[in-house]
Amino acid sequence: MRRLTEANDRRIAVKCHRIIAATAILPDCGAKYSKVMGIDKGPTVVVVEYDPEWPRRFDDLRARIWPALAGVADRIEHVGSTSVPGLKAKPIIDMTIVVRQRADVPPVIERLATLGYHHLGNLDIEDLEAFARPAGLPRHRLYVCPDGTIGIVNQLAVRDYLRAHPDAAL
């Protein structure tokens, strides 16, 4: 994978970000898509100004999840629009649990179930497992990806590019 450093690559990264923001990295998958997207009352999407509380909300959610995953997962990444300082976004925290290998995904699914997360499957995206959040928690989307797979590589590439190039974050 080539690094995003040239002017043309910048345009591609911005287009990718727009696509990701519009689709939340998920294709149209009917009811499962609506559930994971947090669309509870219709297709209205509300984009708000950047909220400096988003990183804290991510930290709080990660602190709740991590103890159940220690020893199986490698890390939890804050991804999506809310992970880019200054970027307008839907006020929904996107989080990806990164595991070392595909064999680590089933134990993570089992452990997340003990916390009330409902496994939605891969929603037709290889190596990206999606989860519905338990009731009572702040709005967020949770995914599990094996390290080095397209699901996490793309999320981190777009996030890191936009963090390093704030002028590209629209």
Range list of H helices, the chain: 7-23, 30-37, 54-69, 105-114, 150-164
Enumerate the domain spans of the chain.
7-168
- For domain 7-168, give its CATH number from 3.60.20.10, 3.90.1150.10, 3.30.460.10, 3.40.1440.10: 3.30.460.10
List 95's β-bridge partners, or say none.
78, 142
What is the per-residue pLDDT across 95-117, written as a single tens digit (0 to 9) for each? Answer: 999 999 999 999 999 999 999 99
Residue keyed to tokens 């998958």: 29
What is the per-residue pLDDT across 9-64, written as a single tens digit (0 to 9) for each? Answer: 544 444 444 444 444 444 444 455 455 555 555 568 899 999 999 999 999 999 99
